[in-house]
Structure 1
Amino acid sequence: MQLLQLTQACEDFYGLNESPFGLTPNTHFYVELPVHQQAFEAMVFALHSGEGFIKVTGEVGTGKTLLCRRLLNYLSEQNVPTAYIPNPTLNSIGLWHAIAAELGLREIPVHEHAIRTIIQRRLLQLVREGHPLILIVDEAQCLPAETLEALRLISNLETERQKLIQIVLFGQPELNDVLATPRFRQLLQRITSSTQLQPLSGVDLLSHYLRQRLACAGYKGRDLFCASAVRRLWLASNGIPRLVNVLATKALLIAFGQGANTIDSRHIERAVADTESALASMDLRQRFWSLTGI
């Protein structure tokens, strides 16, 4: 059986409409985790307050891009103009071109000064229409130094009363290290809202996460993951949502292959054995089991 057919058969077996643990940042599967809700509320408050720079950081797989997509959807619903930069490995002129393209500007000049002039004109128009542009940069830890400096210069665009542009940076913790260097002390001082995303903090929160994702996929039965499976899944994943999704998907397929109605710790173990990033925490898990007798 081909993988696509196997996946579909697995979803049918468990009464699912779609895969509950996909890796694509689909906001349909957004789970209102406390740390994500706090970060979202902090961003919205800072944007409504007219603050210039907002920063959200988190380790790989903690849900930054999904939170970024949620913010973009929210701003779209509020008819707030946005520019989204998913590829931050641009030089400074490339950044200006990307912003111009996001603004729908045509016949973009070659020279940076000319581009800045037409962008500033468009930003003034947006402010007169009711709201400054929100520039959102994903994977901001990859920004070259010259592009970070360009962002600082962009943030200088303002009237006597308000900014013409507000900037939200999403990035891995390495972004904090870059901003802490003397070269970027001016930019760091302009960051008025900073949030650090954390992994799932415990078994109860992971259990809630699994239930919510399954419910979004159409599952209506009793708990599909038994208590011991949730404990081992949390320990194997270190609470990182992306790794949870990888292991949960594999465990579902393994359990389906055995005709099991629920996922237990053995299914998680087989999933872990097939996942290199989960094997890295094997020693920690073994110490935990020796203490708990699981």
Structure 2
Amino acid sequence: MYDEHYGLTGRPFQLTPDPKFWFETDTHRKAMAYLGYGLAQGEGFIVITGDIGAGKTTLVGHLMDTIDHQRLNAIKLVSTAIEAEDLLRIVATELKVDPAGLTKGELLPAIERGLHAVARTGKRTLLIVDEAQALPVSALEELRMLSNFQAGGHALLQIVLLGQPEFRDRLHGSERLEQLRQRVIAIHHLDPMEEDEVSDYLAHRLSVVGWTGNPDFADDAFAAFYAGSAGVPRRLNMLAGRVMLHAAIEDLTVIDAAVVKTVQRDLEGDLPMLATDTGKGAAASDGKLPPAAVATPVPRTDPMIEDRIAALEARVELQDKALRRVLTLLVDWVENDTDKPEYAPIRGVAAWHDAA
């Protein structure tokens, strides 16, 4: 695979989110600022939205790596249309409260006791709910009820809601969510990265796995990467991974726009739903909830397709490792020594690595 061909220690463009590849684009920097502000308040809801592949899960992974776990008991849930009572049972379990046999009316006091138990250890509880757009209104209302629990005038629970843009629309427009909306103290929408951030993003992820400049990238490649991904991190990772594989197969030492466009055409032929829209959709706004806005919808990749691709990628990696072991045994049996191919000198964007 391309990582071995180019002497990398891992795959820099895997689809599975990994906090070690955290890269702070302008929009992610703002998101962390709003998260920091919200956490400092110690109460209410923090809402982060973004299109599929915008980096919400990676953002949470980075947050989990940076918060003070001596002061915060962080719980992360990924919602899949969980009904209200099931959501309460999951929260209770995460708080080390056995929900077995408890009625819905008994669950709330039990959860409150669990929150008080955490507070007695000197911590407060942070509940992070991913895919919040899948939650029914009844479940969101139960979360609002949980946010009411206090001790000594301080909230026992703070909640971060992560969701796709439609969750923001629901929050704006649903009368039933008015009380929850009033408790939102920070909100941010993750935009795609800007075109001038693409080169640094690619160089950063490559450097994490030991890239020394081979393959190099021509200046015109980055505009092609941006055009082919619309600046959405997951789409960019998918395209860059396929470009790296193509480059390894062709034994390329320089990747230019022509290479990227060739791979993009092949990728769109295999997965037509990945054809990009150059529009960026609705503009983001921060701070207070803005009035509902009408924006032209941007086509998004089917999340089931993306999850399937990520699962296939993980399976291919396992098969690749097994194949490497077999090949190693065969090579050892056939010959005593092998020579590694020589690589062309680095140039161009390789200077970014040297400067870093």
TM-score (normalizing by structure 2): 0.73
Q: Does the alignment pair 1:210 with 2:195? A: no
Q: Does the alignment pair 1:183 with 2:176? A: yes
Q: Does the alignment pair 1:165 with 2:157? A: yes
Q: Does the alignment pair 1:279 with 2:275? A: yes
Whole-angstrom distance in 2 between the partners of 1:109 and 1:82? 26
Cα deviation, residue 133, structure 1: 0.8
Q: Find the partner of 2:86 among 94, 109, 134.
A: 94
Aligned residues: 274
Amino acid across the alignment from 2:64: L
Gaps of at least 5 residues in structure 2 are 280-356
Distance 1:263 1:177, change over 3 A: same
Amino acid across the alignment from 1:210: L
Q: Does the alignment pair 1:39 with 2:47? A: no
Work out the percentage of aligned pairs sharing the same amino acid: 33
Cα deviation, residue 78, structure 1: 4.2
Whole-angstrom distance in 2 between the partners of 1:277 and 1:209? 24
User: Residue 13 of structure 2 aligns to a residue in which SS?
Assistant: coil
Q: Kindly provide the CA deviation profile for residues 198-248 of structure 1, in whole angstroms up to 9, marking residues without a partner as x.
A: 11112x211000000000111122673221111111011110010000000
**1:108–1:115 Cα contact (<8 Å) kept:** no
Larger radius of gyration: 2
**1:211–1:223 Cα contact (<8 Å) kept:** no
Whole-angstrom distance in 2 between the partners of 1:151 and 1:139? 14
* 1:112 match: 104
**1:75–1:81 Cα contact (<8 Å) kept:** no
Q: Find the partner of 2:45 among 53, 73, 78.
A: 53
* 2:95 match: 103
Whole-angstrom distance in 2 between the partners of 1:44 and 1:127? 21
Cα deviation, residue 30, structure 1: 0.8
Alignment of 1:9-88 (within 5 A): 10-75=2-67, 77-88=69-80
Gaps of at least 5 residues in structure 1 are 1-6, 284-294
TM-score (normalizing by structure 1): 0.88
Whole-angstrom distance in 2 between the partners of 1:94 and 1:107? 10
User: Residue 57 of structure 1 aligns to a residue in which SS?
Assistant: strand
Amino acid across the alignment from 1:104: K
User: Residue 245 of structure 2 aligns to a residue in which SS?
Assistant: helix
Q: Kindly provide the CA deviation profile for residues 131-155 of structure 1, in whole angstroms up to 9, marking residues without a partner as x.
A: 3210100011111111111111111
Alignment of 1:242-253 (within 5 A): 242-253=234-245
Moved more, 235-244 or 149-158: 149-158
**2:133–2:167 Cα contact (<8 Å) kept:** yes
Whole-angstrom distance in 2 between the partners of 1:44 and 1:125? 25
